[in-house]
Structure 1
Amino acid sequence: MSSTGTTLVVAVPAAVLGAAGFGLASAVQQRATKQVPTSRTLDPRLLWDLVRKPIWLLSIGTVLAGLALQMVALAFGPLVLVQPLLVTSVLFGAVFAAGMAHRRLDRVLVLGALAVMAGLALFLLLARPAGEGTGFTATTDVRPLAVLLAVVVLACVLTAHRFPGEVRVLALALATGVLYGVTAGLIKVVAEQLRHGGIAEPFVHPTLYVVCALGPVGFLLSQNTFQQGKFISPALAVITAVDPLVGMAIGVSWLGERVETSPPALAGQALAAVALMAGIWVLTHRGEHLRRVAEMRAG
């Protein structure tokens, strides 16, 4: 079988199944967060409550299975093919969540999810981020982007504390996506240190310890996000979109990676970004509308 045939037969199904695993895990985690007391943002007691739920523990296994399938997909296919396919987790999450709640899948939420998937997939295809980077060097200045991302996360947490409803969900999801993207970008650095310097090399650099600190915070924020949102689609769409975009920004700003910057590519990226933002807007406003309808019926 040719290399192209192997890519289609192995990489594509593995990426789609991995996306399905991520979508299922997110839907299960959202359902589990509704079965425990509502906690404040970044309160670690939420994880203590969740870890005693067998269904939540099973979702962690589903995440690991999704990661394994993602690794298989990347081993047999290029990043530019695998990343857009992983975006389908947004739609899988919506389908699984609706099924577990025994409700019909809302058509407007589906259209919004499709717009997010199409916009992000097109953006990644046009940007074509290069997987090979120089890594941190003596001239790398991480401060501008690091400060910007820290301000975004802090502003999101403060916004979530002040505003209710879908605004809170959107803010928490944005902060989660930023932390996930930073963690993913820094894991690239740790992997390179491990590959070139051996198993002890990452322990002599601060990157590994930053990953160990940010990773759990991002995961806790994701559980706060799922607990606050009535519908999974808006939150999962924001997290899924922001994660790779922040990772790409880190690759370009810190690790010496490259993206396509020709005028046609930039024009296409701008259109893709519009579709992405429109999808998120539709999901957010439709989610808020459905939340109010449900509250009126319940009260």
Structure 2
Amino acid sequence: MTVDASVVAPVSAVLAATMIGASGVAQRRAALAAPSFAAGDPRLLRTLARARWWWIGTAAAVAGLCLQVLALATGPLLLVQGLLIGSVVATTACERLLLGRRPTRWVLAGVALTLLGLVGMLTALAPTGGGGTGPSGPEVLTLAGACAAVMVATVVWARRSPRRAWAVAACTGVGYGVVAVLLKQVGLQLAGGLTAPFAHPALYATVALGAWSVLLSQNALQQGCGAVAVVTPILVLDPLVGLVAGLVWFGERVASTPDVLGVAVGCTVLLVLGMGLVEAAGRSAQRTTTRVATPARR
């Protein structure tokens, strides 16, 4: 019995979203018990490696990554990355179960608007697969270099910003988006044989940017107030990077009539509003926690 590739991609993407959502909450549980380090400091990973919950989260993340690779190998980049926004729902549910943290109505409203906006935009644009060959070697190096530069600049700025967690999470989302693009390219290279990816820079750029993105995600999970507030910008920016890459390099197509573009713009507004609500709710909760934890001076 053969399995239709059109079914494998979305099912794998949904399962990947569930695993990624669960991994974020498990890793946050470990990160909250670890000492605080500056964004990008590798000592955080060394500390987390001694925590059982971090390894549980890492195992879930690896399973999610494998499912994502399978989905990318069998379906359009835009579809797969769009379905991964389901991680927001999984994160909300797992945060309630594992951390006993009940989301506020503003967080739920923000998550709902974010999901509605991104799903609506992808549905309106109706992405379809193409026959593109992906970025060339020099283009991969340029893309990876530009992404690394943005990530370093964001980390430097975030160290002096009160929105540190959100900035690092947004930076992580861009990094994960570029890694997904590179994984898609590695999948295309595998069609030429198991050794073909080793002759293309996409594999090496994936390892480097992937490791850096994972480190930043741990910083964001530790500094942010709530896993949902951290995961939301990651999962929004990740598929948006895939949207651009799919159109530019992989020959994927979207509907572009005036009506469709109008709906896409409206959904983008909802998406931005949803992200803003989640971020504002997280900052409000963080201020409340700080006031409770700090005794009043006499």
Which range, TM-score by smaller chain? 0.7 to 0.9
**In the TM superposition, what whole-angstrom CA distance separates every residue of 1:234-288 from its partner, at most 9, and x where no partner exists?**
2101000101111221222233433322212211111111011000000111111
| Cross-structure match for 2:120 | 122
Q: CA deviation at 1:162?
A: 1.1
For residues 137-148 of structure 1, the aligned pairs below 5 Å read: none
CA RMSD of aligned residues (A): 3.1
Cα distance in 1 between the residues matched to 2:83 and 2:44: 31
For residues 142-291 of structure 1, the aligned pairs below 5 Å read: 149=147, 152-164=150-162, 167-195=163-191, 197-291=192-286
TM-score when scaled to structure 1? Answer: 0.85
**In the TM superposition, what whole-angstrom CA distance separates every residue of 1:125-156 from its partner, at most 9, and x where no partner exists?**
22233332422477986798667645543442
Cα contact 1:122–1:269 (8 A) shared by 2: yes
Cα distance in 1 between the residues matched to 2:40 and 2:234: 17
Query: Identity rate of aligned residues, in percent?
Result: 38
Cα distance in 2 between the residues matched to 1:146 and 1:216: 13
Q: Tell me which of 17, 29, 32 is aligned to 2:30.
A: 32
Q: For residue 98 of structure 1, what is the amino acid of its counterpart? A: R
Q: For residue 246 of structure 1, what is the amino acid of its counterpart? A: V
Cα contact 2:92–2:103 (8 A) shared by 1: yes
Q: CA deviation at 1:204?
A: 1.4
**In the TM superposition, what whole-angstrom CA distance separates every residue of 1:182-216 from its partner, at most 9, and x where no partner exists?**
11101111111111x21121111222111121110
Cα contact 2:69–2:183 (8 A) shared by 1: no
Aligned residues, how many?
292
Q: Which moved more, 1:72-81 or 1:89-98?
A: 72-81
Cα contact 1:141–1:254 (8 A) shared by 2: no
The gaps in structure 1 that reach 5 residues or longer are: none
The structure-2 alpha-carbon separation of the partners of 1:12 and 1:126, relative to structure 1 and needing over 3 Å to count, comes to: same
Q: Which moved more, 1:44-53 or 1:72-81?
A: 72-81
Q: For residue 269 of structure 2, what is the amino acid of its counterpart? A: V
TM-score when scaled to structure 2? Answer: 0.85
Q: For residue 127 of structure 2, what is the amino acid of its counterpart? A: P
Cα distance in 2 between the residues matched to 1:138 and 1:15: 26
The gaps in structure 2 that reach 5 residues or longer are: none
Q: For residue 130 of structure 2, what is the amino acid of its counterpart? A: E
Q: Tell me which of 104, 112, 125 is aligned to 2:110.
A: 112
